[in-house]
């Protein structure tokens, strides 16, 4: 092999080659596995192409493995997949493809290994390695994929226009690989994306979103978002983000370009956190700035309410992008809604009660929120950056102190609705909510202590004010 490989994997590949030999279906490793191994990236996905039936090869390979893995067959695609020792092996017969205008699903016929390499999206994804006895480990590189790997360029084996028009998902894949690998998209290939961008409309939202997520999971997502912007794809898939671009001047006063600011925030955050959803929050934290932008001759540009409106927009965007609508959406909305809160607490004279409120409202997401805020510092002046970071260090200390004394994270007020109802012999009603809120506020403001006794006392006095009559209960002090 031309790259280092564990003996165990080598034996597995030899076995596949031997089985393929017996079936008269020469087999080759192709695609992502070869690319990633050549780049020294770890990979557990093996794509195997053979001259013959991929399904038959998979079944015969499974027969040789202990324990025999289940073979999942996708008859419509002529592919089969099995799992073995943490690896995913996918088998397919070499094929030739021809496409129709309205679909990315090609008509398929049997083909040679070269036909099969030719149908692949990029030269670096079209490398093949023989698994056959006669030339085991031999590299077949008809399109200079190895050279392109070392030059770090993405280029299509055939005419790029045809490649992208046939299957427009490849445009997203090009930008995703450029971002993941730090590669450059070769000029003609890049031009073709711009030219055929409209074809993206035949791709399902789910597939587009999968690629966007991979871009966001890369070390420097801004590479991908710049390419999406420059090729015009971003206009088609996430126009709200494009709206952030540009600087307006009035009376000689400009504001920052919120598109490039946002990308910087995302990149900054990615150095601190791998959490995809926090990365989405960074991408969308200022999304409502265009909609809330005003010019005030006294103070210049303002974006009042962009946090609340932004949280709202996140819901719409998640729905459109077919992103999950569960607690992950709630989390991203919470981050966007709260992203201005910590900065307002970085002044010198903050009160314990303001700190307590932040602890209570952020709950278990406090650390994520602070990371987002620290990433939101994008000044080009290093002195300012370090001063702002210092402010957050100070705030973190303050948060720790108050947390230490109050234990407010994941806190629930000590008096529940049930206790209120039982204490006054009432059912669910407006008064229960009023009393609950009053107790929570009193604790957060430091007006009463955070314990059951103080809370119960306040409950009874508030109840009396509301005309409720206390029942004699053991908790009545």
| Chain positions contacting ligand ATP, by CB under 6 A | 31-32, 45, 47, 120-121, 125, 167, 169-170
The CB-of-230 to ligand ATP minimum distance in angstroms stands at 22
The vertex-296 CA angle with 292 and 299, nearest 5°, equals 110
Virtual torsion, Cα 52, 91, 176, 242, nearest 10 deg: 90
Indicate the residue among 9 and 361 with the shorter CB distance to Mg ion.
9
State which residue, 169 or 200, has the beta carbon closest to ligand ATP: 169
Q: What are phi and psi of 330, to 5 degrees?
A: -55, -45
Select from Mg ion, ligand ATP, none the partner in contact with residue 262, using the beta carbon and a kind-dependent cut-off of 5 to 8 Å: none
Q: Which residue lies nearer to Mg ion by CB, 45 or 109?
A: 45
The nearer residue to ligand ATP, 167 or 286, going by C-beta atoms, is 167
| Minimum gap (Å) between residue 41 Cβ and ligand ATP | 9
CA distance 346 to 348: 7
- As measured in angstroms, the least distance from the Cβ of 45 to Mg ion is 4
Could you give the angle at which helices 352-362 and 430-444 cross, rounded to 10 degrees? 130
Q: Which residue is nearest to Mg ion (CB)?
A: 32
Closest CA to 166 of 123, 213, 224, 121: 121
CB-closest chain residue to ligand ATP = 32
Binding mask 9-38 vs Mg ion (x if CB under 5 A, - otherwise)?
A: -----------------------x------
**414: partner contacted, choices ligand ATP, Mg ion, none (Cβ within 5-8 A by kind):** none
Taking the C-alpha atoms of residue 261 and residue 281, their distance in angstroms, rounded to an integer, is 14
Question: Minimum distance from CB of 89 to ligand ATP (Å)?
Answer: 12
| Rounded CA separation 360/446 (Å) | 13
CB of 34 or CB of 263, closer to Mg ion: 34
Q: Is the dihedral of CA 11, 12, 17, 18 positive or negative?
A: positive
Residue 125 exposed, middle or buried by CB count within 10 Å (0-12, 13-18, 19+): buried
- H or E stretch covering 302: strand 300-302
Identity of the residue, 178 or 432, whose beta carbon is nearer to ligand ATP in the bound complex: 178
Distance CA 277, CA 217 (A): 10
Give me the least distance between CB of 120 and ligand ATP, in Å please: 4
Q: DSSP string covering 209-262, please? A: HHHHHHHHHSS-THHHHHHHHHHTHHHHH-HHHHTT----EETTEE---HHHHH
Shortest distance, position 411 Cβ to ligand ATP, whole Å: 42
* Smaller CB separation from ligand ATP, 44 or 68: 44
Helices (H), 93-142: 113-118
Contacted by 141, from Mg ion, ligand ATP, none: CB < 5 to 8 Å by type: none
- Tell me whether residue 17 or residue 32 sits nearer to ligand ATP (CB atom): 32
What does 279 interact with, of Mg ion, ligand ATP, none (CB < 5 to 8 A by kind)?
none
Q: Of Mg ion, ligand ATP, none, which one sits near residue 93, judging by CB under 5 to 8 A according to partner kind?
A: none
Task: Determine whether 170 is exposed, middle or buried from the number of CB atoms within 10 Å of its CB (0-12, 13-18, 19+).
Answer: buried
Per DSSP, what are the bridge partners of residue 87? 84
- What whole-number distance in Å separates Cα of residue 29 and Cα of residue 137? 9
Nearer to ligand ATP, 170 or 334 (CB): 170
Site track 34-73 with Mg ion (rule: CB under 5 A), x = hit: -----------x----------------------------
167 binds, among Mg ion, ligand ATP, none (CB under 5 to 8 A by kind): ligand ATP
Long-range contacts (CB closer than 8 Å, 24 or more residues apart) made by 158-162? 158/118, 160/188, 160/189, 160/191, 160/192, 160/193, 161/192, 161/195, 161/196
Q: How far is the CB of 126 from Mg ion (least distance, A)?
A: 14
Q: Is 304 exposed, middle or buried (0-12, 13-18, 19+ CB in 10 A)?
A: exposed
Smallest gap, in angstroms, from Cβ of residue 125 to ligand ATP? 4
Cβ closer to ligand ATP: 87 or 438?
87
456 binds, among ligand ATP, Mg ion, none (CB under 5 to 8 A by kind): none
Binding status of residue 342 toward Mg ion by CB under 5 A = no
CB of 447 to ligand ATP, least distance (A): 56
CB of 420 to Mg ion, least distance (A): 57
Interface residues with Mg ion (CB under 5 A) are 32, 45
């Amino acid at each position: 092999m031309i790259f280092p490989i564990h003996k165990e994997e080598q034996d597995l590949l030899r076995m596949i080659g031997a089985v393929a030999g017996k079936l008269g279906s020469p087999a080759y490793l192709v695609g992502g596995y070869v690319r990633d191994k050549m780049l020294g990236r770890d990979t557990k996905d093996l794509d195997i192409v053979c001259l013959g039936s991929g399904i038959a090869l998979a079944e015969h390979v499974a027969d040789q493995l202990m324990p025999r893995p289940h073979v999942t067959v996708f008859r419509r695609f002529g592919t089969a997949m099995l799992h073995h020792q943490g690896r995913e092996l996918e088998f397919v017969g070499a094929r030739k493809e021809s496409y129709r205008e309205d679909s990315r699903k090609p008509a398929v016929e049997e083909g040679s290994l070269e036909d099969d390499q030719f149908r692949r999206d990029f030269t670096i994804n079209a490398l093949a390695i023989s698994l056959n006895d006669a030339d085991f480990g031999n590299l077949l590189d008809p399109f200079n994929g190895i050279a392109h790997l070392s030059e770090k360029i993405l280029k299509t084996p055939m005419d790029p226009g045809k490649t992208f028009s046939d299957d427009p998902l490849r445009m997203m894949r090009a930008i995703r690989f450029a971002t993941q690998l730090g590669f450059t998209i070769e000029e003609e290939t890049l031009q073709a994306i711009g030219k055929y961008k409209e074809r993206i409309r035949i791709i399902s939202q789910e597939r587009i979103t999968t690629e966007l997520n991979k871009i966001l999971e890369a070390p420097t997502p801004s590479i991908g978002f710049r390419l999406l912007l420059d090729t015009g794809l971003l206009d088609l898939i996430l126009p709200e983000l494009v709206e952030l671009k540009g600087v307006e001047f009035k009376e000689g006063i400009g504001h920052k370009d919120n598109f490039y600011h946002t990308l910087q925030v995302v990149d900054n955050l990615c150095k601190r956190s791998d959490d995809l959803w926090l990365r989405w929050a960074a991408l969308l934290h200022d999304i409502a700035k265009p909609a809330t932008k005003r010019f005030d001759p006294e103070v210049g540009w303002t974006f009042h309410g962009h946090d609340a409106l932004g949280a709202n927009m996140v819901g719409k965007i998640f729905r459109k992008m077919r992103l999950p609508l569960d607690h992950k959406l709630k989390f991203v909305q919470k981050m966007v809604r709260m992203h201005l809160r910590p900065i307002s607490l970085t002044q010198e004279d903050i009160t314990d009660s303001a700190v307590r409120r932040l602890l209570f409202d952020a709950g278990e997401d406090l650390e994520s929120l602070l990371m987002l805020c620290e990433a939101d510092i994008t000044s080009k002046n290093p002195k300012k950056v370090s001063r702002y970071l210092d402010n957050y260090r100070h705030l973190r200390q303050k948060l720790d102190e108050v947390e230490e004394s109050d234990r407010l994270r994941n806190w629930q007020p000590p008096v529940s609705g049930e206790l209120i109802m039982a204490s006054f012999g009432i059912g669910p009603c407006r008064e229960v909510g009023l009393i609950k809120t009053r107790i929570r506020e009193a604790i957060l403001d430091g007006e009463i202590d955070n314990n059951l006794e103080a809370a119960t006392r306040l409950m009874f006095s508030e109840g009396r004010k509301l005309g409720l009559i206390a029942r004699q209960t053991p908790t009545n002090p």
